[in-house]
Chains A and B, each alone.
Chain A
Amino acid sequence: MTKSLRTGKLARVARLTTALILAGTVSAQAQDVVIWGGFPELTEYYERVAGSLSDKYPDLNVIVEPIGLRDHEKRVALGLSSGLEDATVLELIGSTANRYIVNDLLSPAPDNVANFVNDNANFEGFFQETATVGGSVYGVPVFRGQGALFYNTDMLAAAGLDGPPKTMDDYDVYASKLTQRDGDGNPTVSGWSLRLSGGGGGIAEKFWINLHQYGGTLLKQVGDKYQAGYANDTGLAALKQYVNAVSGEKTVTVDMPADAAAFQRGQTAMFIRESWVIGDTAKKAPNLNYKTALLPRGSIALPVNLYVSGGSDKAQQAAWDFAIAANKPEHLIWMLDNVGWLPNRSGVDYSDVVAAKPQFGAFVDLPDDYVFFTLPSIEPINEILTRFAAKLVDAYADEALVGNDAAMMAVLQASADETNAILDRAGILAK
Chain B
Amino acid sequence: MLRRKRFWFAIIAILPTFAIFGWVRMFPIIETLRLSMFQWNLLSKNKPFVGFDNFIELFGDDQFLDALTNTAVIAFGAMAVTIPASMVLAAVIYHRTKSRFAGFYETAVFIPHVVSLVPAAMAWKWIFDAKLGPLNAAIVAMGGTAQPWLFDPVLSVVCIIFLVSWQTLGYGVLIYLVGFRNLPKSVYEAAQLDGASGLQSFIYMSVPLLKPITLYVSVVTLISGFNVYTQAYVLASDTQGAPGRQVRVLVLDMLENSFQNFRVGYAAAEAVILLSIVLLLTAIQFGLLRQKGDR
**Once the chains bind, are A73 and B43 in contact (CB under 8 Å)?**
no
**Once the chains bind, are A379 and B240 in contact (CB under 8 Å)?**
no
Within 8 A of B (CB), among A235-283: 254-262, 271
Within 8 A of B (CB), among A195-212: 195-200, 202, 206
Interface string of A370-389 (1 = CB under 8 A from B): 00000000011011001100
B112 beta carbon closer than 8 Å to chain A: no
Q: A74-B259, A77-B262 are in contact. Are A257 and B44 (CB under 8 A)?
A: no
**Once the chains bind, are B246 and A199 in contact (CB under 8 Å)?**
yes
CB contact between A81 and one of B42, B132, B255 (< 8 Å): that residue: B42
A350 to B157, CA, bound (A): 49
B245 beta carbon closer than 8 Å to chain A: yes
Q: A197-B244, A256-B131 are in contact. Are A382 and B261 (CB under 8 A)?
A: yes
**Interface stretch of the complex, out of B19-27, B98-106, B187-195, B230-238:** B230-238
Q: A74-B255, A105-B43 are in contact. Are A255 and B148 (CB under 8 A)?
A: yes
Within 8 A of A (CB), among B262-285: 262-263
**Once the chains bind, are A255 and B259 in contact (CB under 8 Å)?**
no
A324 beta carbon closer than 8 Å to chain B: no
A115 to B221, CA, bound (A): 59
Within 8 A of B (CB), among A63-81: 68, 70, 73-74, 77-78, 80-81
**Once the chains bind, are B262 and A197 in contact (CB under 8 Å)?**
no
Contacts of A271 in B (CB 8 A): 241
Contacts of A99 in B (CB 8 A): 41, 43, 262
**Once the chains bind, are B248 and A390 in contact (CB under 8 Å)?**
yes
A258 to B150, CA, bound (A): 14
CB contact between A386 and one of B130, B240, B242, B260 (< 8 Å): that residue: B260
Give how many A-B residue pairs fall within 8 Å (CB-CB).
103
**Once the chains bind, are B243 and A198 in contact (CB under 8 Å)?**
yes
Contacts of A199 in B (CB 8 A): 233, 236-237, 243, 246, 252
Q: How far is the CB of B282 from chain A (nearest CB, A)?
A: 30
The tally of residues in A whose CB lies under 8 Å from a CB in B reads 40
**Once the chains bind, are B245 and A393 in contact (CB under 8 Å)?**
yes
Closest to A80 in B: B43
Within 8 A of A (CB), among B125-152: 130-132, 148, 150-151
Q: A197-B151, A254-B148, A387-B63 are in contact. Are A103 and B242 (CB under 8 A)?
A: no
Interface string of B29-50 (1 = CB under 8 A from A): 0000000000001111100000
**Once the chains bind, are A258 and B242 in contact (CB under 8 Å)?**
yes
Q: A103-B43, A255-B130, A386-B256 are in contact. Are A261 and B240 (CB under 8 A)?
A: yes
Q: A99-B262, A199-B233, A386-B261 are in contact. Are A259 and B242 (CB under 8 A)?
A: yes
A132 beta carbon closer than 8 Å to chain B: no
Q: How far is the CB of A217 from chain B (nearest CB, A)?
A: 21
**Once the chains bind, are B260 and A198 in contact (CB under 8 Å)?**
no
A100 beta carbon closer than 8 Å to chain B: yes
Q: How far is the CB of B243 from chain A (nearest CB, A)?
A: 4
A193 beta carbon closer than 8 Å to chain B: yes
Q: How far is the CB of B238 from chain A (nearest CB, A)?
A: 7
Contacts of B252 in A (CB 8 A): 199
CB contact between B242 and one of A68, A100, A262, A387 (< 8 Å): that residue: A262
Interface string of A84-119 (1 = CB under 8 A from B): 000000000000000110010100000000000000
Q: A254-B148, A255-B130, A259-B240 are in contact. Are A197 and B246 (CB under 8 A)?
A: yes
Contacts of A195 in B (CB 8 A): 241
B239 beta carbon closer than 8 Å to chain A: yes
CB contact between A197 and one of B63, B245, B248 (< 8 Å): that residue: B245
Q: How far is the CB of A302 from chain B (nearest CB, A)?
A: 16
Closest to A273 in B: B241
Contacts of B262 in A (CB 8 A): 77, 99, 379
Contacts of B132 in A (CB 8 A): 257
Interface string of A45-77 (1 = CB under 8 A from B): 000000000000000000000001010011001
Q: How far is the CB of A413 from chain B (nearest CB, A)?
A: 15
CB contact between A254 and one of B41, B239, B240, B242 (< 8 Å): that residue: B242
Q: How far is the CB of B51 from chain A (nearest CB, A)?
A: 16
Q: How far is the CB of A98 from chain B (nearest CB, A)?
A: 11
A190 to B43, CA, bound (A): 44
Residue from A194, A195, A199, A259 having most chain B Cβ neighbours under 10 A: A199
Q: Can you identify 28 A-B contacts, CB atoms within 8 angstroms? A: A68-B237, A68-B239, A70-B237, A73-B260, A74-B259, A77-B42, A77-B43, A80-B43, A81-B43, A103-B43, A195-B241, A197-B246, A199-B233, A199-B236, A199-B237, A199-B243, A199-B252, A206-B241, A254-B245, A255-B131, A256-B131, A256-B242, A258-B242, A260-B241, A262-B242, A382-B261, A383-B261, A390-B248
Supplied contacts A199-B236, A386-B261, A393-B246, 10 more A-B pairs, CB within 8 Å: A68-B239, A73-B260, A99-B41, A105-B43, A197-B245, A197-B246, A254-B242, A382-B260, A386-B260, A390-B63
The chain B residues found within 8 Å of chain A, CB to CB, are 41-45, 63, 66, 130-132, 148, 150-151, 233, 236-246, 248, 252, 255-256, 258-263
The chain A residues found within 8 Å of chain B, CB to CB, are 68, 70, 73-74, 77-78, 80-81, 99-100, 103, 105, 193-200, 202, 206, 254-262, 271, 379-380, 382-383, 386-387, 390, 393
* Cβ-closest 7 pairs across A and B: A259-B241, A258-B242, A103-B43, A255-B130, A255-B148, A383-B261, A74-B259
